């Protein structure tokens, strides 16, 4: 049963999300709101720590869910603290780099590496996660398109932790506009060549924005989540229904996916067309399925899991031309789906 207080909290969050997502909202107003909310929430959690820490500890004893509530609250508290440090450092970067765009982007890249790797490291500590990575020798050299599986609310930190921070590869991200609710992503994301896609906007305009990231790529990379959103059976059914109207020949292959959504080819094929000489780096991972939704976390099933990451690289010369690329992309994602299933 949903309590009225829960509805009010959800309503406030939805209003904040809608405000950050609005194309008519000025960046200054949006950031004033999101930074204020994050800061006040961090202050409130800090002041009330002597109350909620023992309460969450007691709840863990009775719920027998590996103290997941305490673990999550501790991570959320730490996350907000990292956000406050990140925003402070971002302000310093802007102050010390007037008119020096190249130095500013370099410093923001270092900040991005610290921010993402710190979040993932603390998440692993609080949820007792272990990690293993294979194929990371395929990350370099740059001039690469990175296609990564989207399975959880935290896998946005994976490429920062295992690609940028460890290998030094600068990535240009295709973010969904809803992530503007995070002030660090908002501020740092607009300091470098990234694109915040409006999933309800004009397809032509959004694809043009994605295409712009592949221009003058140099030794950097562009990162895209081809599925567009996290996997659920309901979303898979919707994707299959849509696919049946546009490319029915691909439906049997897409139906065989058990853990991934069929890729949305628009963004991926646009990037390949814009940078035909770029290799494709595929990043598959498993172990974060229990982080797909906030409600999934409360079961405690994710505690103690191993996060396995596998990367492989497809040379540009092996990517087919023309219409054959669409089938190639689906077959590529079938390989990702097989990895997630342990095949």
CB distance 66 to 303 below 8 Å = yes
CB distance 184 to 160 below 8 Å = no
Which of 86, 92, 140 has its CA nearest to residue 116? 86
For 336, the token pair is 């990702």
> CB neighbours of 151 closer than 8 A, spacing ≥ 6?
230, 231, 259, 260, 285, 286, 288, 289, 291, 292, 340
At residue 31, the 3 state secondary structure works out as helix
**What burial class does residue 239 get, using C-beta atoms within 10 Å of its C-beta: 0-12 exposed, 13-18 middle, 19+ buried?**
buried
- pLDDT at site 279: 97
State the Cα–Cα distance between residues 281 and 143, nearest whole angstrom.
10
Q: Where along the chain do its domains lie? A: 4-340
- pLDDT at site 154: 76
End-to-end CA, the chain? 40
CB distance 27 to 191 below 8 Å = no
State the Cα–Cα distance between residues 246 and 231, nearest whole angstrom.
21
For 330, the token pair is 């689906």
- pLDDT at site 12: 46
Which of 157, 151, 308, 309 has its CA nearest to residue 223? 157
Which of 280, 283, 287 has its CA nearest to residue 335? 283
Which of 326, 199, 207 has its CA nearest to residue 262? 326
Question: What are the pLDDT tens digits along the chain (343 aa)?
Answer: 434 444 344 444 444 445 545 545 788 999 999 999 999 999 999 999 999 999 999 988 887 778 889 999 999 999 999 999 999 999 999 999 998 889 999 999 999 999 999 999 999 999 999 999 999 999 999 899 999 998 887 788 899 999 999 999 999 999 989 989 999 999 999 998 999 999 888 889 999 999 999 999 999 999 999 998 888 888 999 999 999 999 999 999 999 999 999 999 999 999 999 999 999 999 999 988 766 666 667 777 788 889 999 999 999 999 999 889 999 999 999 999 999 988 6
Query: Measured in whole angstroms, how far is the alpha carbon of residue 215 from the centre of its chain?
Result: 22
State the Cα–Cα distance between residues 185 and 153, nearest whole angstrom.
14
Q: Where do we find the tokens 């390949």?
A: 272
CA atoms within 13 A on the CB side of 229: 12
CB distance 65 to 300 below 8 Å = yes
């Amino acid at each position: 049963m949903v309590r009225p207080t829960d509805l009010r909290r959800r309503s406030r969050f939805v209003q904040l999300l809608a405000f950050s997502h609005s194309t008519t909202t000025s960046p200054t107003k949006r950031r004033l709101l999101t930074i204020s909310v994050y800061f006040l929430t961090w202050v409130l959690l800090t002041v009330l720590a002597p109350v909620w820490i023992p309460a969450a500890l007691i709840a863990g004893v009775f719920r027998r869910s590996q103290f997941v509530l305490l673990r999550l609250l501790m991570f959320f508290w730490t996350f907000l603290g990292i956000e406050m440090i990140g925003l402070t450092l971002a302000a310093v970067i802007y102050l010390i780099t007037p008119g020096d765009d190249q130095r500013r982007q370099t410093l923001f890249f270092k900040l991005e590496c610290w921010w993402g790797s710190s979040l993932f490291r603390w998440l692993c500590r609080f949820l007792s996660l272990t990690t293993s990575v294979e194929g990371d020798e395929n990350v370099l050299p740059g001039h690469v398109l990175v296609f990564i599986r989207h399975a959880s609310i935290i896998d946005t930190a994976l490429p920062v932790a295992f690609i940028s921070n460890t290998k030094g590869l600068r990535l240009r991200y295709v973010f969904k506009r809803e992530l503007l609710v995070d002030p660090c992503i908002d501020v740092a994301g607009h300091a470098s060549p990234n694109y915040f896609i409006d999933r309800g906007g004009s397809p032509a305009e959004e694809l043009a924005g994605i295409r712009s990231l592949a221009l003058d790529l140099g030794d950097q990379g562009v990162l895209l989540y081809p599925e567009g959103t996290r996997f659920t059976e309901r979303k898979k059914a919707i994707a299959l229904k849509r696919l049946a109207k546009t490319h029915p020949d691909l439906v049997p292959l897409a139906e065989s996916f058990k853990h991934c959504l069929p890729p949305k080819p628009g963004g991926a094929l646009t990037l390949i067309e814009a940078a035909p000489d770029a290799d494709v780096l595929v990043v598959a991972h498993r172990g974060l399925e229990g982080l797909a939704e906030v409600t999934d976390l409360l079961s405690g099933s994710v505690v103690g899991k191993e996060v396995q990451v596998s990367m492989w690289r497809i040379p540009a010369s092996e990517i087919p031309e023309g219409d054959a690329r669409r089938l190639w992309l689906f077959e590529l994602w079938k390989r990702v789906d097989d990895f997630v299933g342990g095949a």
